[in-house]
Structure 1
Amino acid sequence: MTSLAFGRALCAMVTPFTESGALDVAGAQRLADHLVARGCDGLVLSGTTGESPTTTDEEKSTLITAVREAVGDRATLIAGVGTADTRHTLELALAAEKAGADGLLLTAPYYSRPPQDAVEAHFLEVADATALPLTVYDIPSRTGTRVEPETMLRLSDHPRIVAVKDCSYDLLSTQRILARTNLAYYAGCDEQILPLLAIGATGYVSTVANVAPAQVRAVLDTFDAGPATAATRAQRALLPLIEQMMAGPLPGTVTAKALLTALGLPSGPVRAPLLPASEQTTRELLDTYEQLSATAAA
């Protein structure tokens, strides 16, 4: 699989739960089908937005199998397997491959804050152990450890390390790596979709796409079609929803699930330690979403 075969319009899908807190398999299938039908050509499962720290290994594998059954070959499935433990990460990677994932999403190990040679060894060990292509997820705000540009350049030599989900907020380093490698870059932060496309990124992995998949896809499509001013308008139209969902005090998982529930789509509660959005926050999210929908329909 080439990196582009991951797709370009990827959604970091929430993991739906039942009201009792169990994995909602049927809900996950319905949500996945909904997202793919509205322009997502790839789904990232069990990532940050998918509440991976609070789902079990068995739930992660069940989710992959169920979503594959729902979407077939209409979308690629990328499995989040990042943990603080290389041994556990390897186990999840092999289980994801067995369950039917097309690729892996892997963070730097968190909490222990390993130095760069250990970060590199972690990625290489996983890449050597599986046949699946691997996306490096660079999100130092959550892991506490940056995948430094020189480390990324060395990792790019591995034939199965093919892509980056970029939440580094370092456009200079991103441009350097894009200029010197064949890595496919995906904007991992919704407010950076258009800026990263403009410097050569392949696409995005979006949390906001859970609730507005077509509108997020419009940024990509208008950028491809030109002129650039159309893509700018599409990105700016999304900005109020991006800001409300991603830049406030609540994690994107919480805001996405609140809005999905308000829209009657599968979502369910978040798992502790996360807490649900308040009724007022949910109303505000819904108001912003409806304004975006009205603008898109005009």
Structure 2
Amino acid sequence: MSTERPFGRALCAMITPFTPAGALDLDAAGDLAVRLVADGCDGLLLNGTTGESPTTTDAEKAALVRAVRQAVGPGPSLLAGVGTADTRHTVELAHQAERAGADGLLVVTPYYSRPPQAAVEAHFLKVADATGLPVTVYDIPGRTGTRVEPATMRRLAEHPRIVAVKDCSYDLLASARLIAETPLAYYSGCEELNLPLYAVGGAGYISTVANVAPRQLRAVLDAFDAGDPAEAARLNALTLPLAELMMASGLPGTVTAKALLGGSPREPLQPADRETADGLRAVHGRLVQAASVV
């Protein structure tokens, strides 16, 4: 069982800001990163799905890592999403992220082609062998179409640079067993499971909702670590309406986060309509108000 938190506890899967003309806005990215760290994020995931990695170029991905590293300094952990459906391209992005100043890599299961487990394992091992950076396996079968099966995960855990998992498997039993039986640090990738996974030994979370509620999400872990699970449960319950609206309303988290923070996603994603944005702001406002009441 792992007692390590290689990238901290509270990580934000950060959006990627664009200018009104649709170009990468590195100044805004740096400002947002600094604000998130000041509000309690131990680290940031850049170029993840929330960061619109499918529609940013390789050069933009590297520029974003460099700009955020410069903005936040050496303290906070920076994970770089490098996963693609192509092992060779993923390795290229891993090298690029290492040169740009990332502290670790997030590697998603190859998607669409639905490789068998032996090919999934070979993919992760090849990426882990490519650089000196620690690797987080991103297990999200609902999007990729392929689960990283527990037996595969156990074998991957034997690699010295495969150190963590971003868990969107929705299989708490399997995750709890892997936490107990391997050295892997498990980070929740689904906000509704942040506290349950943490309670069975998880390392923390990598959260889209943290873009707009970093203090409120971190407070849940702080209360649990302070030995007050009832307070952690109360604080967690306050976050659930916003998490549900942002992540389970039929819109991608990128769209809902940008509806609250401002800015538009790149196509094919479209901005939230006014009614949706107003609803998000109302629920977010209630969370901020409720969480400020002692």
Normalising by structure 2, we get a TM-score of 0.98
Paired residue for 1:33? Answer: 34
| CA distance 1:238–1:257, change in 2 (3 Å) | same
Look up the equivalent residue of 1:297 and give its one-letter code: S
What letter corresponds to residue 261 of structure 2 in structure 1?
A: L
Q: Secondary structure at 1:158's aligned position in 2?
A: coil
For 1:234 and 1:89, locate their aligned partners in 2 and report how far apart those are by CA, in whole Å: 38
Distance in structure 1 (CA, Å) of the matches to 2:17 and 2:181: 39
Q: Which amino acid aligns with 1:75?
A: P
Residue 285 of structure 1 aligns with which residue?
A: 280
Post-superposition CA distance 1:66-114 (Å, at most 9, x none): 0000000231100000000000000000000000000000011001000
2:44 counterpart SS class: strand
Partner of 1:276: 271
CA displacement at 1:3 relative to structure 2:
5.3
| Partner residue, 1:46 | 47
The DSSP-based 3-state class of the residue aligned with 2:41 is: coil
CA-to-aligned-CA distance 1:153-174 (integer Å, 9 cap, x gap): 0000000000000000001110
Distance between the aligned counterparts of 1:64 and 1:80, measured in 2?
10
Task: Give yes or no for contact 2:114–2:145 (8 Å, CA) kept in 1.
Answer: yes
In the TM superposition, 1:195-234 aligns within 5 A as 195-234=196-235
Q: Does 2:105 align with 1:104?
A: yes
Partners of 1:3 and 1:163 within 8 A in 2:
no
Per-residue CA deviation, residues 206-236 of structure 1 (Å, 9 max, x unaligned), is 1100001100111111111122100000110
The answer to whether the aligner puts 1:81 opposite 2:82 as a matched pair is yes
TM-score (norm 1): 0.96
CA distance in 2, matches of 1:216, 1:179: 24
Matches within 5 A, 1:133-148: 133-148=134-149
- C-alpha contact (below 8 Å) 2:6/2:163 kept by paired residues: no
Corresponding residue of 1:71: 72
Quote how far apart the aligned CAs of 1:179 are: 1.4
Contact in 1 for aligned 2:147/2:169 (Cα 8 Å): yes
Corresponding residue SS for 1:153 = helix
Q: Aligned partners of 2:42 and 2:204: how far apart in 1? A: 11
1:296 to partner: Cα distance: 1.3
Amino acid in structure 1 at the alignment position of 2:161:
R
2:110 partner amino acid: P
Unaligned runs of 5+ in 2: none
| One-letter amino acid of the structure 2 residue matched with residue 296 of structure 1 | A
Determine if contact 2:121/2:156 at 8 Å carries over to the other structure.
yes
Q: How many positions carry a matched residue from both structures?
A: 291
Query: RMSD across aligned C-alpha pairs, in angstroms?
Result: 0.9
Structure 1 distance, partners of 2:79, 2:35, is 17
Q: 1:253 and 2:248 equivalent?
A: no
Is the 8 Å Cα contact of residues 6 and 185 (structure 2) preserved in structure 1? no
